[in-house]
Amino acid sequence: MKKKVVNAMEVARLAGVSQSTVSRVFSPSTAVSEKTRHRVWKAAEELGYRPNALARGLIMNKTKIIGLIIRDIQNLCYPEILDKFIKGLRAKGYHVLLAHTENNEVNQDEVYQFLEYNVDGIIVIDTLLSLNTLAHLSKYNIPIILFNQYTEASSCSYHFVGCDNYAAGKDIGEYLLKQGHHQYACITGHRNGFMSHECEKGFRQVFQQRGIKTAIEAGDGTYEGGYKAAMRLLKGGSPPDAIFCASDLMALGAADAARSLNLSIPEHVSIVGFNDSVMASLHPYSLTTWRQPFDELIAITIKTLLDDIDGRIKSPVSILLCGVLIKRDSVRASHNTDGALNSE
Amino acid sequence: MKKKVVNAMEVARLAGVSQSTVSRVFSPSTAVSEKTRHRVWKAAEELGYRPNALARGLIMNKTKIIGLIIRDIQNLCYPEILDKFIKGLRAKGYHVLLAHTENNEVNQDEVYQFLEYNVDGIIVIDTLLSLNTLAHLSKYNIPIILFNQYTEASSCSYHFVGCDNYAAGKDIGEYLLKQGHHQYACITGHRNGFMSHECEKGFRQVFQQRGIKTAIEAGDGTYEGGYKAAMRLLKGGSPPDAIFCASDLMALGAADAARSLNLSIPEHVSIVGFNDSVMASLHPYSLTTWRQPFDELIAITIKTLLDDIDGRIKSPVSILLCGVLIKRDSVRASHNTDGALNSE
DNA sequence: TTGAAAGCGTTACCAT
DNA sequence: ATGGTAACGCTTTCAA
């Protein structure tokens, strides 16, 4: 059985002071004489005392716990993002209670769990909160921030920080256009989230503006999905020589599909991915892709959340940061408008 | 400011019962009449009441929180493992307080944090606890389980569950031997952990037994490290035609190094990885690798931990499970002993 | 079956 | 600067 840890009362007895004084010693910026402070420290050290965060949280109504909900993503930048959040929050004295969901909307239950533990704030990564959940949450005035997923249907009281995927899609489209291609296509992810739509929308916008047709194929976010979608495109009527994939993994699948048809990259087909994951830089792929500015995004997310927790923010904050194109070798060099593929 | 959530007293007032009764309704298996139970439920529903886990944890000395410490690993099976732990623990009603470390030994501070929140148990993934930390922890009788990392210097009171890497290394060595190669090499990871050593030891053992020499090169766990280590090997005096890499990522690097020397895989060089990560199955690599039985390992870890928490275990448990070789196309087919590469 | 009251380990207020 | 005491929201014992 788990043993009880030593409490402030025992430290007080050993140090020959009151329990209140022990508490004060462990509360930052409270007046205690240097002498007693040392006595208490020594006693605490000797007994291995550390204040009980649960009791503290109970009385202070602040737990220093942040509830983090992340979507079940095998493909994405999960480790990177998670690590950075944990580190960043930790540096500010906060701890992370972690939950994850596989749905497009957070399980209401997860949020209730967080509420039971009286978390100081909630970060939702790559997924959404249902209106029900939001309504319930709004009663408690607990800061919520959505990271990299957004919904328009919100009169809501949460913050949003994410990548400007519309701009990203546009940039990618314009880059492919500038490099000169004949037929443009886009392989979309499986998520019905706002963010991926934005990305696709930006991409299409570039061509729509100029009256150029683009083919859209649905991948499902996986390698296989990308492979198959690319196959459909490349074996179709007007095979593209420029494909933008909404995720790196799909892009790798698309690249391998092209190669299996004896098309070289980037000579016959240019491919652009999204996310700049580890795999993108692998030698046989050397994928041109889009890097989201996670460092800044996460720093802003944490700052915003803590500012809200500490009452320094009144109204919802909404921040979009643009990423940057990482140019590798999967897009053909400029001005090479000829020599493109017109038949299978 | 965060608002106070509704408490049991308010529910009691609305339902016209005592606060104790409300508590009983939310404590499983406590005798309450059907009629009052319904009244309380209705009142609770109406007010949106959920018991405060902190207060409950304080009085019960059980928080239903598990502290999880994971090493900062970009390459490994981080997402998979983490997801499975969270899901598995969640299914048993436990929550995860997450910390991570980049060191070979867990930061003592992390453990103290867990203690402050009075976690019911601690899972340490892929790293170790210092003797100091262990000494401190042992005072509290709090269940600890080490996952996939182990130290021999332990008189200790923690459990251990992991992959039998020695057996894995042996299996891999024997497989490469069976397929017939001339010169065997091993690229090791950067960690000075027990587990990777075991793996390497098993591999070497196979050849030592038979008086066959093996070359050992240190990678650092990264793609680049694998690439460079393979380069050193392949450009060296007696270049290997069979290379075992202690991680998939290094194996990919090694594969690309071989290709850059115009060596094909597996005709000129066989390569075996470790972990069966997503990248291993990528088309251009189709890497033969080792899959650790994470599902079972994690299930056992959780079961052991919860058994200990509930007092069903008296002495430390130590469990090793063997993985399985995933045969793809990076190792040459059997009995093809000739045609191996003897010079650069 | 239910209610009153003690206690979990803190912090915060009011004295001194 | 320090000590006494109420309060945080819950579970649990003891009475009724």
Residue range B215-245, pLDDT digits in tens: 999 998 889 999 999 999 999 999 999 999 9
Structure confidence at residue B218 (pLDDT) = 92
Residues A294-308 have pLDDT tens digits of 999 999 999 999 999
DSSP letter at B92 equals T
Q: Does pTM top 0.85 for this prediction?
A: yes
Residue of A268, A266, A267 lying closest to A287 (CA atoms): A266
Q: What is the rounded average pLDDT of the residues B257-270?
A: 97
Structure confidence at residue A240 (pLDDT) = 97
Structure confidence at residue B132 (pLDDT) = 82
Structure confidence at residue A335 (pLDDT) = 58
Q: CB of A60 within 8 Å of any CB in chain B? A: no
Write down the H helix ranges in chain B: 8-15, 19-26, 34-47, 53-60, 78-91, 108-116, 131-138, 165-179, 194-209, 223-234, 248-260, 294-309
Q: CB of B284 within 8 Å of any CB in chain A? A: yes
- Is strand D within 7 Å of residue B51 (CB)? yes
Q: CB of B283 within 8 Å of any CB in chain A? A: yes
pLDDT at B183 over 90: yes
Highest-pLDDT range among A220-224, A314-318, A327-331, B281-285: A327-331
Interchain CB distance below 8 Å, B79 and A83: no
Rounded-to-integer distance, Cα A102 and Cα A21, Å: 48
Residues B303-319 have pLDDT tens digits of 999 999 999 998 999 99
Q: What is the rounded average pLDDT of the residues B192-200?
A: 79
Residue count (chain A): 344
Please name the residues between 165 and 204 in chain A that touch chain B, using a CB distance below 8 Å.
none
Interchain CB distance below 8 Å, A79 and B80: no
DSSP letter at A279 equals G
Mean of all residue pLDDT scores within chain B: 91
Half-sphere exposure of B166 (CA within 13 A, CB side): 7
Question: How far are the Cα atoms of A13, A14, A168, B76, B136 from residue B139, in angstroms, in the given order?
Answer: 20, 19, 54, 33, 6
Rounded-to-integer distance, Cα A266 and Cα A42, Å: 68
Structure confidence at residue A341 (pLDDT) = 40
Q: What is the rounded average pLDDT of the residues A102-128?
A: 90
Phi, psi dihedral angles at A289 (to 5 degrees): -155, 180
Residues A154-167 have pLDDT tens digits of 556 889 999 999 99
Instruction: Report yes or no: A245 and A254 within 8 Å, Cβ to Cβ.
Output: yes
Local confidence band at A337 (pLDDT 50, 70, 90 cut-offs): very low
Structure confidence at residue A344 (pLDDT) = 32
Structure confidence at residue B335 (pLDDT) = 58
Instruction: Report yes or no: A223 and A285 within 8 Å, Cβ to Cβ.
Output: no
pLDDT at B344 over 50: no
Q: What is the percent of chain B with per-residue pLDDT over 90, rounded to a whole number?
A: 75
Mean of all residue pLDDT scores within chain A: 91
Local confidence band at B137 (pLDDT 50, 70, 90 cut-offs): confident
Nearest neighbour of B100 by CB, restricted to A48, A86, A309 = A86
| Alpha carbon B145 to its chain's center | 11
Q: What is the rounded average pLDDT of the residues A215-226?
A: 92
Write down the H helix ranges in chain A: 8-15, 19-26, 34-47, 53-60, 78-91, 108-116, 131-138, 165-179, 194-209, 223-234, 248-260, 294-309
Question: How far are the Cα atoms of A176, A266, A270, B172, B343 from residue A334, in angstroms, in the given order?
Answer: 9, 11, 11, 47, 41
Write out which nucleotides of chain C lie closer than 7 A to a protein Cβ. Answer: 1-5, 7-13
Structure confidence at residue A252 (pLDDT) = 96
Residues A60-93 have pLDDT tens digits of 999 999 999 998 766 567 888 999 999 999 999 9
Q: What is the rounded average pLDDT of the residues A174-185?
A: 96
Local confidence band at B337 (pLDDT 50, 70, 90 cut-offs): very low
Residues B21-80 have pLDDT tens digits of 999 999 987 889 999 999 999 999 999 999 999 999 999 999 999 999 998 766 567 888
pLDDT at A340 over 70: no
Instruction: Report yes or no: A204 and A172 within 8 Å, Cβ to Cβ.
Output: no
From first CA to last CA, the distance across chain A in angstroms is: 70
Structure confidence at residue B340 (pLDDT) = 42
* CA of A58, C1' of C6: distance in angstroms: 18
Residue count (chain B): 344
* CA of B22, C1' of C5: distance in angstroms: 16
Residues 15-54 of A with CB under 7 A from strand D: 16-21, 24, 31-33, 35-37
Q: What is the rounded average pLDDT of the residues B137-145?
A: 89
Q: CB of B309 within 8 Å of any CB in chain A? A: yes
Structure confidence at residue B120 (pLDDT) = 97
Residues from chain B that touch A276, judged by Cβ atoms under 8 A, are none
Q: CB of B141 within 8 Å of any CB in chain A? A: yes
Nearest neighbour of A54 by CB, restricted to B117, B136, B139 = B117
Question: How far are the Cα atoms of A194, B197, B211, B336 from residue B153, in angstroms, in the given order?
Answer: 52, 15, 31, 44
Residues B120-129 have pLDDT tens digits of 999 999 888 8
- Tell which of A116, A138, A263, A310 to mutate to test the B interface (max B CBs under 10 Å): A116
A20 vs A102, higher pLDDT: A20
Nearest neighbour of A50 by CB, restricted to B48, B50, B115 = B115
Triad A85, A86, A90: Cα angle to 5°: 115
Structure confidence at residue B74 (pLDDT) = 61
Q: What is the rounded average pLDDT of the residues A314-322?
A: 93
Rounded-to-integer distance, Cα B174 and Cα A54, Å: 54
